Structure 1
Amino acid sequence: MQDMRAHLEKLRIEAEECELISKLATNATKKELFAQLATHYPTLADEVERAMSDVRSGP
């Protein structure tokens, strides 16, 4: 479970960093790419959170 928490935290941090990079990027392609990543990472983090919840609640 610790490894899942670590991955969850990493995804949340990556989302914040991608959002910042997107805002600072001068290249339009990079700006768009990092904006997409900034919206995708929270989705992945939510999935990890759901998986953690499923593991806790058990079968």
Structure 2
Amino acid sequence: MKDMRAHLEKLRNEAEECELISKLATDTNKKALFARLAVLQRALVKELEQAIAASSLDPSD
């Protein structure tokens, strides 16, 4: 569980970094690329949060 939470925090940070790069980029293609990466990272964050929540309900964990 500790590994999952560490990975979750890493994904959150990466999503924030991608969003920031997207906002600061002057190249249109890079702006769009990093915006898409931020969206994908945030989707992974949601999935991992759900997996953590589900595993915390599992008494065998």
TM-score (norm 1): 0.90
**Could you list the runs of 4 or more consecutive aligned residues of structure 1 that deviate by over 6 angstroms after TM superposition?**
none
Partner of 2:57: 57
User: Where does 1:7-46 land on structure 2 (aligned, <5 Å)?
Assistant: 7-46=7-46
SS at match of 1:26: coil
Partners of 2:34 and 2:11 lie apart in 1 by 14
- Name the Cα RMSD after superposition: 1.2
Gaps of 5+ in 2: none
TM-score (norm 2): 0.88
Q: Percent identity?
A: 61
Gaps of 5+ in 1: none
Aligned letter for 1:42?
R
